[in-house]
Chain A
Amino acid sequence: MVALLVGLRFRLLRRSLAGPSRHRVAVAAVAIVSFLFTAPVCLVLLVLGGTDLVMARAMTVLIGFSLMLAWIWLPLFLTGTDDALSPGRFALLPLSAFRLLPGLYVAGLIGLGSALSILVALCSVVGWARSVPTFIAGVVGALLGVVTATLIPHLLTTVFAGALGSRRFRDLTGLAVVGFAVGITIVMQVASSAISHTNGPEAVVGALDHAATVLSWTPFGAAWVLPADVAQGDMAAALGHFALAVGTLAALVVGWWAALRRALTTPLDVPDVVGRVTRESAIDRWFSGSTTAVIAGRLLRYFRRDPRRLLSVFSMMLAPVLVGVSVAGIIAAGGRVGGISVLLVAPFLGLLLGPTLAFDISYDDSALWTHLTTSVKGWEDRLGRLVGFSTIALPIVALVLLMGVMSTGSDNLLPFGAATIAVTGASLGVGSHLGSIIQVPVPPPGSNPFGKGSGGGPLSIVVSLLTVVLALLVAAPALVAAALSYGYRWAWYAAVPIALATAAATIVWGVVMGGRRLDRRWPEVLREVTYKR
């Protein structure tokens, strides 16, 4: 079974690499970038062998803990597990969860994330090879750590796959996103207050040591502290950490096994039950004047009813929650809110709208034929999607901007308002155009939104980065004017007009050029967005 599934995974991988050359370029680009991020981490772990014990211990625990966190949120927001090996696909075969589990796990190890994680773990083993006992503890800790980390996405996707068939999916996703936002914000608050309350390098080491001690007693930190415990001769702590790490691993395995058993007995594509809809809603009244309006109205409905699009709405709602929690945290801590960080959230969120808009046409899958057969013009498709999406997204951006301005002072309204307008408009325009050129593979309708389909992950990352970079370039003059408006009178007057002009021009460009592109190659786009089984 293990060999069969591993072989299947390799064949799928090879097939996805044999696809269009832009997939290969995207995979290579993502591999290089993530390696560039991992290399310094590995270096730190290797060098630790010669440094003092406290520092080595703190860094190993922090890096290990971050690795676990990465395995929680990377599958949620970047590239999911390949849905070819999703548990529901095995529902028809006479296989028990117990027999499938090892094969699915090993097959899941074949991938960039696992390779880099194993590399990091190996570096920590080498770094802790100070003596035979620390080496052995290092091997045990690294093994427990990597296996636990790589089990996390299996548990998450299987649990979500099981919940997909029900209304609970929506609540579960919302809860996960909000919980993640709150957790991250609290960690950031604790970290920044720890750093701001200490002075001098010794105090920093003290703070890190303290953080490592706290994290080492959490399920995701315990495994990594083992070699340090042995090196310090604290066998009681080592035993406690070992028990915690093994317990975590066992809990993950049992949880996954139970979820897998349920997924195997739940039919494949159970539609997400929304039930009956109202006969006539406000959308029918407000969005029926033109083809563009009708498409926008359909999108508004889809943002509520399509789990895949719902996920992107939830991710957007993360922003106001993040700002709210951090403002509340700062006020609760008695500090004055003056940081630029809460103000940056609005333009940042605006910048991220473009990629979501660019992916939207792919979510339609082969249903897009309706637009071909009814002779929808390219610009109507582009503008309809842009209007529908903006109706949901722009109020969130505006809310985040106002929250930031109200907690930091009204002086910031004009500069950050201008920056937000320019960046949001530029991103939407660029996204409109790019979405007509490259159609990213997405999970098919009615499937788990966390699986990206074969080979879609890297390409979607590249398209996202491209949209963001191009939008920043286009918005650069407006951003410069916004920054200068704090010191120069002329920039104060010029910033908003420049921003509005940038946004308007980019959106017109994106709609017109993207529309022309669609008009020239509608049938090819239809084939591109149709999910290949």
Chain B
Amino acid sequence: MPALRVTDLVKTYGDKRAVDGLSLLVPAGSMYGLVGPNGAGKTTTLSMATGLLRPDAGTVEVLGHDVWSDPVAAKALIGVLPDGLHVFDRLSGRELIRYVALLRGLDRRVADTRAEELLSALGLADDAELLVCDYSAGMTKKIGLACALVHAPRLLILDEPFEAVDPVSGDMIRQILNAFVASGGTVLLSSHVMEIVEALCDSLAIVLHGRVLAAGTLDDVRQGDSLTDRFLDVVGARHLESESLAWLHSS
């Protein structure tokens, strides 16, 4: 059974089709990358897959549970890190992890232990008493990841987990995700940095205009090229005309 099965997903805003009949199959135990240029519909797709945005049509199944007809069971299996949404940032880092853990139904003692372990694993132990609104962008990403992990999900859905994260923290996150997949978990992450996806993921899908242009294992998709070249090839790269923006050339 796939960890995530997305079938013919559609979302329309006014007359713009943000997601246009998108289907996706994320095998259990894989590290799956969702790549595409800005505005391709990655965030919209992930929002619908996690139950934050109601799709106009299509279905989403997490390990056999439909996200929209059986939401409680499906949501218990996934850990989510959205991009561009606030967190309860007037809580301290420790309070935020505990809050999410307790809402997930964990026992208070378990919540406390896991919060401490996550804080130290992500290098946030020294800032655990600081309010999240005083965190840097990278620290906010890390605390978001901690909240997504705290109930030991089977599937992690991460929207741009490496954005604004410094190299040291990025490596830390990579190690955590690799260990998570090695122990049988599944990760679906979106990114527009090809190098990250190429180094980390075993499978991926390229999305453009709300549709999947190419999908499969890393080697299937890149067909011998580097992923960046293959990506630019698939989505259609544009070259800057030589005479445009001439006024920028000061010398």
Which residues of A does B touch, CB under 8 Å? 271-274, 276-279, 284, 288, 291, 294-295, 298, 301-302, 305-306, 364-367, 369-376, 445-446, 523-524, 526-527, 530
Contact = CB atoms under 8 A, between A and B. Distances in A.
A144 to B, nearest CB: 43
Given A294-B99, A374-B103, A523-B52, A445 B89 contact: yes
A302 B130 CA distance: 15
B85 A301 contact: no
A279 to B, nearest CB: 6
A155 to B, nearest CB: 28
Contact of A365 (B82, B86, B94): B86
A291 B53 CA distance: 23
Given A367-B85, A369-B52, A523-B53, A288 B80 contact: no
23 contacts: A271-B131, A273-B134, A274-B131, A276-B129, A277-B92, A279-B128, A291-B102, A294-B103, A298-B88, A298-B99, A302-B88, A366-B85, A366-B86, A367-B86, A367-B87, A369-B52, A369-B82, A370-B88, A372-B51, A373-B50, A373-B80, A445-B89, A524-B54
Interface string B80-112: 101011111111101100111011110010000
B221 interface: no
A445 B133 CA distance: 10
B103 A376 contact: yes
A273 B135 CA distance: 11
Contact of B134 (A271, A294, A369, A530): A271
A279 B103 CA distance: 19
A273 B91 CA distance: 12
B71 interface: yes
B76 interface: yes
Contact of B54 (A288, A301, A523): A523
A143 B39 CA distance: 52
Contacts of B52: 369, 372-373, 523, 526
B75 interface: yes
A267 B32 CA distance: 39
B50 A276 contact: no
A292 B82 CA distance: 24
A445 B89 CA distance: 9
Contacts of A369: 52, 80, 82, 85
Contacts of A375: 71-72, 75-76
B115 to A, nearest CB: 11
A273 B134 CA distance: 8
Contacts of B53: 523, 527
Contacts of B51: 372-373, 523
A271 to B, nearest CB: 4
B221 to A, nearest CB: 30
Contact of B87 (A273, A277, A370, A523): A370
